[in-house]
Amino acid sequence: MYDIGIIGGGTAGMTAAIYGQRAGKKTIILEGGVFGGQITSSPNVENYPGIASVSGSEFSMNLLDQAVKLGAETAMEQVTGIRDEGDRKVIEASGKEYPCRSVILATGVTHRHLGVPNEERLTGAGVSYCATCDGMFFRGRDVAVVGGGSTALQDAEFLSNYCRKVYVIHRRDEFRGENSIVKRLEEKENVEFILRATVKEIIGDQAVERLIINSKKTGKEFKLDVSGVFIAVGQIPKNEVFSDAVKLDANGFILAAEDCVTSHPGIFAAGDCRTKEVRQLTTAAADGAVAALAACKYIGENS
């Protein structure tokens, strides 16, 4: 029997394990992919307080090492569901069962990709899904943002403060994001909208060099020389298997506020998988701490 079963080995999940272990609880982290999550693919992390610069993989391994040294157990398992048996929750994974007094869902999200040639190969070498994470590396250079929602517009506004030129590529005539941001971008001399257009291919040997753009207006293709492309076409939560256990919003995110409490007593949600405005390393770590302490409180009240 574990005190806290943590599903997901990203920043939120590993932080939860650290806090759980420090509180004297027996914890286990179940991860079906790579410990560390999406940040492991980032060559440099420079927006985490107290750490000037570190690779995403090193950051993740340091977290994992800290959790394990405190006594947290780990298992490479693909979780298939959660069963409530009253005084305990049972995590079901690949034919195995892990009984726990409480559960923390920290499954994260995956960024929706464009699915164009060289996108995967050049991820971390000019292709990015997080402007606030990687934007500073493109200071004084030309970049493109792909997307038409508020995230894409916010990314373009952020990048415009550092980059020489920011192209915003959107497949429609109008943006879905906040009109106030659109107006601010229109007033910036270094921001240019490329509407009714899609990215057909990303070109580059060792790093991004240019994009092949397909214009719906002219029906022709053209080249756009950029050093980076920031893709902001949505995020996909991985919470379907928990829809019977906790309530999800219309987009599939777990309904949980800053207290990380879900609709099901004893089950908590931490990090990018829950409903929230800001999804960053710092907020994931904060959620992990909050969720672990909430789980400890729940265990104490239900012992």
| Residues 247-288: tens digit of each pLDDT | 999 999 999 999 999 999 999 999 999 999 888 899 999 999
Instruction: Give the number of residues written for the chain.
Output: 303
Q: Are 67 and 125 part of one and the same domain?
A: no
Which pLDDT value is given to residue 47?
85
pLDDT band with cut points at 50, 70 and 90 for residue 151: confident
Bridging pattern class, strands 142-146 and 165-170:
parallel
pTM for this entry:
0.78
Q: Are 140 and 222 part of one and the same domain?
A: yes
Chosen domain end from 231, 246, 275: 231
Q: Are 101 and 239 part of one and the same domain?
A: yes
Q: Are 93 and 75 part of one and the same domain?
A: yes
Between CA 295 and CA 281 the distance in angstroms is 21
Record the tokens describing residue 56, joined without a space: 């995403």
* Count of domains forming the chain: 2
Which pLDDT value is given to residue 278?
87
Lowest mean pLDDT among 37-46, 109-118, 258-267: 37-46
Q: Are 91 and 12 part of one and the same domain?
A: yes
Which pLDDT value is given to residue 235?
84
pLDDT > 90? residue 205: yes
> Looking at 3, 100, 134, 155, which residue is catalytic?
134
Which pLDDT value is given to residue 65?
98
Between CA 219 and CA 212 the distance in angstroms is 13
pLDDT > 90? residue 15: yes
Q: Are 179 and 248 part of one and the same domain?
A: no
Q: Are 65 and 145 part of one and the same domain?
A: no
> Looking at 100, 133, 273, 296, which residue is catalytic?
133
Between CA 281 and CA 39 the distance in angstroms is 8
pLDDT band with cut points at 50, 70 and 90 for residue 206: very high
Residue 130 appears among annotated catalytic residues:
yes
Q: Are 204 and 266 part of one and the same domain?
A: no
Q: Are 106 and 121 part of one and the same domain?
A: no
| Residues 93-103: tens digit of each pLDDT | 988 999 999 99
More confident residue, 45 or 153: 153
Bridging pattern class, strands 89-93 and 79-84:
antiparallel
Residue 133 appears among annotated catalytic residues:
yes
Q: Are 215 and 245 part of one and the same domain?
A: no
Chosen domain end from 208, 231, 254: 231
What value does the mean pLDDT take over residues 171-195?
94
Q: Are 215 and 249 part of one and the same domain?
A: no
Q: What's the domain range around 118?
A: 113-231
For the chain, give the mean pLDDT.
94
Which pLDDT value is given to residue 226?
98
More confident residue, 208 or 279: 208
Chosen domain end from 231, 248, 273: 231
Which pLDDT value is given to residue 133?
82
> Looking at 100, 130, 260, 273, which residue is catalytic?
130
Q: Are 218 and 126 part of one and the same domain?
A: yes
Which pLDDT value is given to residue 173?
93
pLDDT > 80? residue 41: no
Record the tokens describing residue 251, joined without a space: 């987009």
Residue 134 appears among annotated catalytic residues:
yes
CATH number of the CATH domain containing 188: 3.50.50.60
Q: What is the DSSP letter of 277?
A: S
CB 221 within 8 A of CB 199: no
